[in-house]
Amino acid sequence: MALAMLGAVSQGILWGIMVLGVFITYKLLDIADLTVDGSFALGGCVCAVLVVGGMDPTLAIIMAMLAGMVAGAVTGFLHTVFEIPAILAGILTQIALWSVNLRIMGKSNTPLLRVDTLFSSVTDATGLPQNIASILVGLVFAVIIIVGLYWFFGTEIGSACRATGNNEAMVRALGVNTKVTKMIALTLSNGLVGLSGGLVCESQSYADIGMGTGAIVIGLAAIVIGEVLGRLVPGQLRAFGSRLTAAVVGSVVYFLIRAIVLQLGMDANDMKLISAVIVALALCVPVVWEKYQLRRSYSRASKALASAGATDPAEGSTSNDSTIEGGR
């Protein structure tokens, strides 16, 4: 059990890097980029083929990231230059990548047998158990990337990218070419996804054509879990750095839940259903809650009006004067 949990934590961190990629498009750019399923597998396939071919495992992971960036750029190109809706552009790239990935590997999976990976070399060098080594390597990558993203989205270009997801008309009026910012964000996002694919491939010692299937849903689920957890923390984590960290933590929690469910004897194939339910619930709850609040405030106000109406109707009305000084 403990071993399974450790494995889940390490998986959660490695996949967490993919979640950071999804965070950029879904939370900052406000588009659901479906390229992710394809670019994750692309990262894995590229990495596996290169490592088997004798490339340095770390360099192979960098190449996986570059491959992911290219995939993101293709989606960005379709979306910005030809104005294909983002969701459709992502689906097109994702479908195309299935064939591309098969071409890259030449078969549907590539095992990394008897070759050194980043993880095996850390295990050999330190004598740590494999799970611990994966967690350490994953943490190093995650920390570097979170710091990097924090820096990037604080820069002039990064601010423009964030603002693009917020209010496109405004950023254009401020002289920013939103095609460029969208392109940057999609490329960066899929670069991280590809990187994560490469890391996962090396940690599990094989790449599979289907390894990215459902990655976007895992990403969304992890983001949602991270947000919920962030809200539970006193003071509510709103700062950008904590939102990024929460996304990775959400990913770890997702994989822990998954491990527990599997330990309870559930079929691994049902996990996708559970992921979908988690995301669907997380998206439903705020809407249902708000509707409930609206209805409740109406019935409360009617009750108050009914009791106040008997005495003095003017008493119940409050001044509606909103001045410029009054915030919402």
Partner 1 sequence: MLKLSSVSKTFNAGTINEKRALIHVDLHLAPGDFVTVIGGNGAGKSTLMNIIAGVYPMDAGTITLDGKNISRLSEPARATYLGRVFQDPMMGTAADMQIVENLAMAKRRGKTRTLAWGVTKAEKDEYAERLKELGLGLEKRLTAKVGLLSGGQRQALTLLMATLTDPKLLLLDEHTAALDPKTAAKVLELTEKIVSERKLTTLMVTHNMNDAIRLGNRLIMMHEGRVIYDVAGAEKAALTVADLLQKFEEVSGGELANDRMLLN
Q: In the structure encoding, which two tokens stand for residue 83, read together?
A: 């104005």
- Of 163 and 274, CB closest to partner 1: 163
Region from 93-101, 105-113, 135-143, 155-163 binding partner 1, contact rule CB under 8 A:
155-163
Q: Does 235 bind partner 1 (CB under 8 A)?
A: no
Among 163, 228, 260, 261, binds partner 1 (CB under 8 A): 163
Q: In the structure encoding, which two tokens stand for residue 168, read together?
A: 């496109």
Q: Does 109 bind partner 1 (CB under 8 A)?
A: no
Closest distance between partner 1 and the C-beta of residue 226, in Å?
17
Dist. CA 275–CA 112, nearest whole Å: 29
Nearest 5°: phi and psi at 94?
-60, -45
**Distance from first CA to last CA of the chain, Å, rounded?**
50
Cα–Cα nearest to 80, from 176, 147, 213, 2: 176
Q: What's at 175, amino acid-wise? A: G
Cα–Cα nearest to 223, from 10, 6, 11, 26: 26
- Of 6 and 172, CB closest to partner 1: 172
Size of the site for partner 1 (CB under 8 A): 30
Using DSSP, state whether 59 is helix, strand or coil.
Answer: helix
Q: Does 324 bind partner 1 (CB under 8 A)?
A: yes
Q: Does 152 bind partner 1 (CB under 8 A)?
A: yes
Largest Cα span, the chain: 87
Q: Give the contact letters, 165-194, x = binds to partner 1 (CB under 8 A), - = no.
A: -xx-xxxxxxxxxx----------------
Subset of residues 292 to 311 that bind partner 1, contact rule: CB under 8 A = none
Among 113, 127, 156, 264, binds partner 1 (CB under 8 A): 156
Among 59, 157, 283, 288, binds partner 1 (CB under 8 A): 157
Region from 34-42, 60-68, 118-126, 156-164 binding partner 1, contact rule CB under 8 A:
156-164
Kind of pairing between the strands at 109-111 and 206-208:
antiparallel
Region from 106-114, 148-156, 214-222, 252-260 binding partner 1, contact rule CB under 8 A:
148-156
Using an 8 Å Cβ cutoff, are 16 and 145 in contact? Answer: no
Q: Does 234 bind partner 1 (CB under 8 A)?
A: no
Dist. CA 247–CA 195, nearest whole Å: 16
Q: Does 236 bind partner 1 (CB under 8 A)?
A: no
Using an 8 Å Cβ cutoff, are 227 and 203 in contact? Answer: no
Region from 47-55, 161-169, 212-220, 229-237 binding partner 1, contact rule CB under 8 A:
161-169
Q: In the structure encoding, which two tokens stand for residue 110, read together?
A: 């590539």
- Of 170 and 284, CB closest to partner 1: 170
Q: Does 319 bind partner 1 (CB under 8 A)?
A: no
Contacts 24+ apart (CB under 8 A), 271-274: 272/214, 272/217
H or E segment at 177?
A: none
- Of 317 and 322, CB closest to partner 1: 322
Q: In the structure encoding, which two tokens stand for residue 278, read together?
A: 């988690």
Q: Which residues bind partner 1 (CB under 8 A)?
A: 152, 154-160, 162-163, 166-167, 169-178, 321-328
